[in-house]
Amino acid sequence: MEEEVKEEVKEEVKPESSVSQLEALAERIEKGNAEARKIVDEQKEMMASKLLGGQAQFVPEEKPKEQSDLEYAQEVMAGKHNE
């Protein structure tokens, strides 16, 4: 009988401590999220300054080489344009 009473008391104490633990955990998560937002904002600023400062790497697109009709016909006959 006494053991059952002790178990019931332990169960009653758990919800109160669980609530305080959850509140503490929520506070830690909020602090972590605030720090993460701060880091992301700093990264955005750094990237923007790189882009505006001309430090970003620019890779120009390669334009396709224009072919004469004869070159195209030779490639078709060689089977290069078969899909």
Instruction: Say what the pLDDT of residue 28 is.
Output: 95
The three-point CA angle 37-43-48 to 5° equals 125
pTM above 0.85, yes or no: no
Along the 83 residues of the chain, how does pLDDT read in single tens digits?
Answer: 555 555 555 555 556 788 889 999 999 999 999 999 999 999 999 888 877 776 666 677 787 788 888 988 898 888 887 75
Question: End-to-end distance of the chain based on CA atoms, in angstroms?
Answer: 84
Instruction: Say what the pLDDT of residue 76 is.
Output: 87
Instruction: Say what the pLDDT of residue 33 is.
Output: 94
Per-domain residue ranges for the chain?
2-61
Cα Dmax for the chain: 101
